[in-house]
């Protein structure tokens, strides 16, 4: 099964200067298509760390994972993502011809908006071309907001290739740009993976229970229902339910429902005080 992950790059997130909005939006975009996020990482503007994170991302992509990476693809001194991607791949950086065309188009539009003539050799216009310098072999990732493209690196395969080719997709840190780019990818390159209704989650509130007491039951459910995941979310000060545990199972509905019935039977056999049930289907 193809997995999806997210990488967020930028000191401003780690310092608290900006609150991250990409993680909940990515979860939302995937869930609307019956997909799930398998992992997420945040890394600051440190080239060594970024290169290490991207090297691992390319390794996962070689096994079929789809990685969305947001941030650091600009052309200011604190933008390192393009250079780090090239370092992680061991490839040189090249000005992508189509990226150069799109950057010139955008710069020309900006000049018209300001009522001035466009000079491609003007220093700021030449500098803008750096935003189109990508690792060799990169594909353009269209940006519907302002035409300045992101880029994608498709996996070349790995020790255990999957039917779906993995890739790492690099987008700006601005949500107004990144989110439409991500949504477009999901509805074009990965439309065949959409699986609405193919995954479900069912849980129940268990009052006053201890996780240590419920663990044997959880282990038994997972052992008896391969492919189903059991989860436990304890709370000590919930405004409605007070101290409780939300205990549930998730997986393919045909597998998840029998597991849930066995879990309920086990809870009742232990004399647990049960509350409302919660159902979620994607």
* Domain 200-281, classified CATH 3.90.1640.10, yes or no: no
Pinpoint the residues of the chain covered by CATH 3.40.980.10.
Answer: 4-193
Alpha carbon distance 244, 238 (integer Å): 8
Alpha carbon distance 79, 57 (integer Å): 18
Is 27:37 a contact under the CB 8 Å cutoff? yes
Is the pTM higher than 0.85? The answer reads no
Compute CA distances 122 → 7, 97, 108, 254, whole Å. Answer: 35, 19, 12, 63
Q: pLDDT tens across 14-38, in order? A: 999 999 999 999 999 998 998 999 9
Beta strand 4-9 with 37-43 is parallel
The CA radius of gyration of the chain, in Å to the nearest whole number, is 23
Q: What is the largest CA-CA distance in the chain?
A: 80
Contacts of 152 (CB under 8 A, 6+ apart): 138, 139, 140, 141, 167, 168, 169, 170
Question: How confident is the prediction along the chain (282 residues), in pLDDT tens digits per residue?
Answer: 789 999 999 999 999 999 999 999 999 999 899 899 999 999 999 999 999 999 999 999 999 999 999 999 999 999 999 999 999 999 999 999 999 999 999 999 999 999 999 999 999 999 999 999 999 999 999 999 999 999 999 986 444 444 457 999 999 999 999 999 999 999 999 999 988 767 788 999 999 888 999 999 999 999 999 989 999 999 988 888 889 999 999 988 889 999 999 999 999 999 999 999 988 765
- Alpha helices (H) in the chain, listed in sequence order: 11-14, 22-31, 47-61, 81-89, 97-114, 123-128, 175-187, 211-224, 253-269
Is 64:165 a contact under the CB 8 Å cutoff? yes
Strand partners, 41: 7
CA 181 and chain centroid, separation: 13
The per-residue pLDDT for 164 is: 57
| CATH among 3.40.190.10, 3.90.1720.10, 3.40.50.1820, 3.40.980.10 for 4-193 | 3.40.980.10
Q: pLDDT tens across 104-125, in order? A: 999 999 999 999 999 999 999 9
Alpha carbon distance 212, 219 (integer Å): 11
Pinpoint the residues of the chain covered by CATH 3.30.70.1120.
Answer: 200-281
The per-residue pLDDT for 282 is: 58
Return the structure tokens found at 253: 């509905």
Contacts of 161 (CB under 8 A, 6+ apart): 62, 63, 64
Alpha carbon distance 275, 245 (integer Å): 10
Beta strand 273-281 with 200-207 is antiparallel
């Amino acid at each position: 099964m193809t997995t999806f992950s997210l990488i967020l790059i930028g000191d401003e997130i780690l310092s608290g200067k900006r609150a991250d909005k990409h993680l909940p939006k990515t979860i939302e975009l995937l869930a609307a298509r019956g997909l799930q996020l398998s992992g997420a990482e945040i890394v600051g503007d440190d080239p060594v760390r970024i290169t290490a994170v991207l090297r691992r991302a390319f390794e996962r992509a070689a096994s079929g994972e789809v990685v969305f990476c947001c941030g650091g693809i600009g052309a200011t001194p604190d933008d390192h993502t393009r250079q780090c991607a090239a370092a992680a791949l061991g490839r040189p950086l090249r000005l992508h011809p189509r990226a150069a065309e799109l950057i010139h188009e955008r710069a020309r539009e900006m000049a018209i908006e300001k009522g001035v003539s466009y000079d491609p050799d003007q220093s700021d216009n030449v500098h803008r071309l750096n935003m189109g310098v990508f690792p060799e072999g990169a594909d353009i990732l269209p940006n519907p907001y302002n035409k300045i493209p992101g880029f994608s690196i498709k996996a070349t395969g790995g020790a255990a290739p999957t039917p779906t080719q993995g890739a790492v997709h690099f987008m700006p840190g601005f949500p107004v740009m990144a989110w439409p780019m991500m949504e477009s990818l999901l509805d074009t390159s990965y439309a065949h993976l959409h699986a609405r209704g193919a995954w479900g989650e069912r849980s129940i509130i268990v009052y006053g229970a201890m996780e240590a007491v419920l663990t044997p039951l959880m282990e038994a459910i997972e052992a008896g229902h391969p492919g189903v995941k059991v989860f436990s979310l304890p709370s000590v000060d919930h405004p409605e339910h007070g101290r409780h545990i939300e205990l549930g199972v998730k997986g393919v509905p045909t597998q998840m429902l029998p597991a849930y019935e066995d879990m309920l039977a086990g809870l009742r056999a232990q004399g647990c005080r049960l509350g409302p049930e919660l159902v979620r289907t994607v």
